[in-house]
Amino acid sequence: MTDRLAFARALYDAVPLYDPKRAPVELDLTDNTNLWGLPPTAERTLRELAVSRITRYPSLYAAELKEALAQFVGATPECIVTGCGSDDILDSAMRAFGEPGSVVASSEPSFAMIPIFAQMNGLQYVGVPELPDHQPDLDALLAANPRILYLCSPNNPTGAVLKRETLERAVREAPGVVFVDEAYAEFSGVSAVDLAMRVDNLLVIRTMSKAFGLAGLRVGYGIGATPLVRDVEKSRGPYKLNSVAEQMALAALRHDMQWVHEHVTLAVTNRERLAAALRDRGYTPLESHANYVCVPVARAVEVGQALRARGVAARPFPGLPHVGDTLRISVGPWELVEQFLVAFDDATADVYGAAS
Ligand X SMILES: *Cc1c(COP(=O)(O)O)cnc(C)c1O
Closer to ligand X at the Cβ: 270 or 291?
291
Least distance CB 346 / ligand X (angstroms): 28
Are 294 and 284 in contact, with CB atoms under 8 Å apart?
no
Stretch 214-243 residues interacting with ligand X (CB under 6 A): 215, 220
Closer to ligand X at the Cβ: 215 or 266?
215
Residues binding ligand X: what is the number (CB under 6 A)? 13
**Does residue 136 belong to the site contacting ligand X (CB under 6 A)?**
no
Among 207, 288, 339, 348, binds ligand X (CB under 6 A): 207
Q: Give the pairing of strands 103-108 and 80-84.
A: unpaired
CA dist., res. 238 & res. 57, Å (int): 10
Least distance CB 30 / ligand X (angstroms): 11
**Does residue 30 belong to the site contacting ligand X (CB under 6 A)?**
no
Closer to ligand X at the Cβ: 69 or 341?
69
Among 181, 246, 256, 302, binds ligand X (CB under 6 A): 181
299-308, Cβ contacts within 8 angstroms, sequence gap of 24 or more: 299/325, 299/351, 299/352, 300/325, 300/326, 300/327, 301/325, 302/351, 303/327, 303/344, 303/347, 303/348, 303/351, 306/346, 306/347, 306/348, 306/350, 306/351, 307/340, 307/343, 307/344, 307/347, 308/23, 308/25
What are the DSSP calls for 291-322, one per residue? Answer: SEEEEE-TTHHHHHHHHHHTTEEEEEEEEETT
Among 209, 288, 330, 339, binds ligand X (CB under 6 A): 209
**Does residue 111 belong to the site contacting ligand X (CB under 6 A)?**
yes
**Does residue 87 belong to the site contacting ligand X (CB under 6 A)?**
yes
**Does residue 121 belong to the site contacting ligand X (CB under 6 A)?**
no
Among 170, 174, 180, 183, binds ligand X (CB under 6 A): 183
Closer to ligand X at the Cβ: 41 or 92?
92
Closer to ligand X at the Cβ: 102 or 209?
209
User: Site residues (CB under 6 A) for ligand X?
Assistant: 32, 85-87, 111, 152, 156, 181, 183, 207, 209, 215, 220
